[in-house]
Amino acid sequence: MARRFINRVDLLDSLQNSELIERYRLDRQGILFLNDKLTPFIGPTSFRNNSLNSIEKILIALRYFATSSIQLNDGDIHEVSQPTVSRVISQVTQALTEPEIVRQFISVPTAPGEIRQIKEDFFNIARFPNVIGVIDGTHVQIQAPVVDEPAYVNRMGYHSINTQIMFDANCLIRDIVPLWPGAVHDARILRQSGLFQIMEQNVVDDQHQYLLGDSGYPCKRWLLTPFMNPADEHQLIYNRAHKRTRSVVERSIGILKRRWAILHNEIRLHPLKSCKVILSCAVLHNICNMRNLPMDPLDIDALPDHPENYHGNEDGLRYRNVVANTFF
């Protein structure tokens, strides 16, 4: 007789929230909230006795994202077969990456009141004015793909998806681009992104708002990078404030990868599915943050990302000088 999947709704009642968070990264109300959002996409298609309901599917996927365990182990824990785990992960990942779901939880700030609050939150870190986001690229390791394998080898020598992420001061992901092979430079990913177009189209002389990035990005009117060789005290103070403020992105990436271990280890899926897993974890990360579920950051030194200096056209260099001389 086939093994029966235990009633996971009862499990939600029997486990303490701390136990649920440890195993699935969400508390009971968070899992029920996610179930409400995803049921239209992953609800059972039949009412057979052995069909999985949406909560059961969510728990299988959350366990996979949170622990990076192989699918056979995930199946053993939840008393289903490995092929079932694979199907469930695909279903839940597809649901989490539906545009209507992503838009609910990840969005570039555009409302004036929201932008003012974000600027204030960033200013309180190191007194760097007018910052609306911090941006960086992070490499998520994947297994060697069959097609275009060399394109996925990054400068550290392993296969990856180079993922661009923008955070606000509260570690919420405001934009993410999990699409590009590991060999692609951060600056190219930015140039091809929707975020680039949004920022370029909203440059207004009397409305200052910036992203902060490392030296792997071009310096622009709306993207400020550090001075490579600071020439005076203004530039030194600017660099110190820039580093402290931009540390939010490093800390946030650490939290993201610690919370969803699948992003810190190797995703053993082909690139397209790996990209969807990364985006799914971004949505889940924001849900966890919105529910104030704490997670200690991963040691930043353990993250194998090292900035590569940008060499190309930088149209914001003189503007950066003005910012440094005016505010620092």
pLDDT digits 0-9 by tens, 75-113: 555 566 778 888 889 999 999 999 999 999 999 998 889
1 or 132, greater pLDDT: 132
Would the pLDDT of 6 be above 80? no
Please report, for residues 34, 62, 69, 93, 163, the alpha-carbon distance to residue 75 in angstroms, rounded to integers and kept in the order given: 21, 13, 10, 17, 29
Would the pLDDT of 121 be above 70? yes
Q: Which residues, 6+ apart, have CB-to-CB distance to 33 below 8 Å?
A: 287, 291
pTM: 0.90
Tokens of 30: 């968070």
pLDDT digits 0-9 by tens, 217-249: 999 989 999 998 888 999 999 999 999 999 999
7 or 169, greater pLDDT: 169
Tokens of 302: 């353990």
